[in-house]
Amino acid sequence: MFPNRLKAALPALIAATLVSACGGGGGSSSAMPENFQVVEGDSQVTITWKQEAGVQYWLFYAPTTADIATVDSWKKTPGALSKVGDKGKGISSPYVITGLTNDKSYDFLLNGRTDGGEGGPTASLSPKTPRQSGTAWLGGNPLSSGTPLLSDKLMRSVAYGLTTSSASTYSYVAVGHGGKIYTTPDTDGERSYGAITSSVLQPLKWISPTGTQVSGSIDLKGVVYAVSPRKYIAVGTAGSVAYSSDINNWTTLDSTTTGTTNTLNAVASNGASLVVAVGDNGTIRYSTDGTSWTAANAITPATSANLYGVAYSAKGEWVAVGDGGTVLTSTDGSNWTATTQSGALKSVAAVTHVANSVITYAFVAVGSDGTVLTRTDDNAWSAQTLTGSFYAASAGSRLVAAGTNGAIFTCEIPCVSWVVPPTKPTTTETIFGLLNAQNTYTAVGSNSLSLYSY
């Protein structure tokens, strides 16, 4: 699994050097940190350990290389050795290091000290290698765990954002039929670890909000976090919209506010203040606050197709998709241009992909007839047909299509060939909601289905 490693003596040598070289910061050394774990993710790692009261912890890491013969030469190589923690301000478990290079091996060391700089016995591990998410998929918490995982309901969409409008912590929110909403806090910007000794990222533990809920007569179809109004905004049947600033209390708006009785099937944000919702019979509504909604100004040529997906690209372009291969594009969310591609399109996703300092703007749209459309930059849409029916699309470091019987396909950007991940649970359920946040894919679907890939 890992590339060539440093000789076996190196971790001990590093530890000894750090103790002698870094132990002059004052205070007292603590014992070697216990239960030190490093979990690899997509261009990042998450580090955990048993944190003792009053101890300031220091983290050291560097690319694993056999070309640097000694620790001293390693430390003297510009950019080779990184240290996390300032004097008097150590780090806390869990801790996430981002911006690492996938498929590149790194060494990690951790020590602790009280009332001073770094020092003390150092805990070390075998080298760890970040890798793309989407390769291995894991199942969510079983119902037998005692946690009400999505409560046997059909869940349609999942979003990620601030826990409250005034907080600095984050949460996941999933919505579905019967007005069901489930949440889980993501306190430290990463998933729950459960036991501190776990060496794999643990599935989210969904809970029911405790405040004002959405009526059970409303089927919620999509949810997004809007950054500027700092609200979660969900859309659903009969033109309904529900929003929350604290994930617990939800305010519901009906057709008198949205101006339509058509079902709204999906919603997306431009990462700032503009939110766009799309629905049946070519319905498009947009809002800057989640409470006041305006009908799209024009769709050219006009369409009455049911629209099921909408996404925004950082290049400044909205894309909405629907029945009959309908693909709409817009630069402002109000004026749209309609084209006809192929497929019974149900979802669309966009991503800004950076590789070797080259920026690529990519879109992926999927259909219930197995159609998968992809587009990069200003190129034409490319169509392929895969085995399965697809209802969810997402994009991160790679494109993902998901649907019935737990079907999952991935494609590297720029997309040429779709492949089935080598590891994923066997299920007969359908994936309807798919999100990439914190470099982790999170999926929800029918009959309490919950999957993730980090």
- 117 and 142 share a domain? no
Most confident residue range from 37-46, 47-56, 332-341: 332-341
Closest CA to 80 of 106, 56, 101: 106
Is the model's pLDDT at 429 over the cut of 70? yes
- If you average pLDDT over residues 202-228, what whole number do you get? 91
At 80 the pLDDT is: 62
Is the model's pLDDT at 146 over the cut of 60? no
- 164 and 106 share a domain? no
d(CA 320, CA 264): 12
- Number of domains comprising the chain: 2
Considering the domain boundaries, does residue 412 fall inside one?
Answer: yes
Considering the domain boundaries, does residue 1 fall inside one?
Answer: no
d(CA 424, CA 426): 7
Is the model's pLDDT at 22 over the cut of 90? no
**Mean per-residue pLDDT over the chain, rounded:** 85
Domain end, chosen from 69, 89, 124, is at 124
At 152 the pLDDT is: 53
Considering the domain boundaries, does residue 3 fall inside one?
Answer: no
Could you tell me the CATH number of the domain that includes residue 298?
2.130.10.10
CB count within 10 Å of CB 96 equals: 15
Considering the domain boundaries, does residue 83 fall inside one?
Answer: yes
86-134 tens-digit pLDDT: 655 778 888 889 889 999 999 888 888 887 666 778 888 888 999 999 9
d(CA 33, CA 56): 11
Output the CA angle 212-216-218, nearest 5 degrees: 100
Considering the domain boundaries, does residue 130 fall inside one?
Answer: no
Is the model's pLDDT at 248 over the cut of 70? yes
Output the CA angle 101-103-108, nearest 5 degrees: 70
At 237 the pLDDT is: 98
Answer for the pair 323, 305: CB distance below 8 angstroms, yes or no.
Answer: yes
Answer for the pair 389, 369: CB distance below 8 angstroms, yes or no.
Answer: yes
SS3 32: coil
- 179 and 318 share a domain? yes
Closest CA to 454 of 37, 3, 36, 46: 46
Give the pLDDT band of residue 76 (cuts 50, 70, 90): low
322-348 tens-digit pLDDT: 999 999 999 999 999 999 999 999 999
- CA 335 from chain centre, in angstroms, equals 30
- If you average pLDDT over residues 60-72, what whole number do you get? 64
Give the pLDDT band of residue 247 (cuts 50, 70, 90): very high
Q: Global pTM?
A: 0.86
- 69 and 160 share a domain? no
Closest CA to 209 of 195, 223, 188, 229: 223
Range of the domain at 87: 10-124
Query: How many angstroms separate the Cα of 395 from the Cα of each of 41, 271, 278, 349, 402?
Result: 16, 15, 20, 6, 11
